[in-house]
Amino acid sequence: MKKIKILSLSLVVVLAGLFTYANLRPLSVAEKLPTVDLASYRLKGPMTPAERLALEQKMSALPGVTACSVNKEGRVASVLFHRKEIDEAQLARQLSNKGQWRVAQKALQTSGGCPMHGMTAPFHAFISVLDLRN
């Protein structure tokens, strides 16, 4: 019984320490910016370079969108956005340009990529959840 009490107390102390760290750690200039999400889409249908640029500019000007790129072939579009202001379905509707292009969200790989970010991601994610400033 005494061991359980000590263990519980230790856990509370560790959690309190992590909570304090999460909320008092100095944030970098970049960390103070609102967080973003990324969605990628496959586009079907002919697209001229001028239409591609116009679509990028239209998408980039939408509220909640921070950047949008369409590849040179006009087959892939990627969008960075603030989820609180716009979602993937709304982005897909805007990308279709009233049905001019068929749009399907592209599933991104879930493993691989930059190994360093992969290793620190769980800790970063946990600290972000505890950080009430987010």
Residues that bind another protein (CB under 8 A): 28-31, 33, 35-38, 40, 56, 60, 66-71, 73, 76-80, 108-118, 120-121, 124-125, 128
Give the list of residues 6+ apart from residue 127 with CB closer than 8 angstroms, or none.
18, 21, 22, 25
Cβ nearer to another protein, comparing 7 with 33: 33
Least separation in angstroms between residue 93's CB and another protein is: 18
Cα separation, 83 vs 88, in Å, equals: 8
Cβ nearer to another protein, comparing 17 with 113: 113
Placement of tokens 């579009």 in the chain: 77
Cβ nearer to another protein, comparing 5 with 32: 32
Q: Which DSSP symbol is given to 100?
A: T
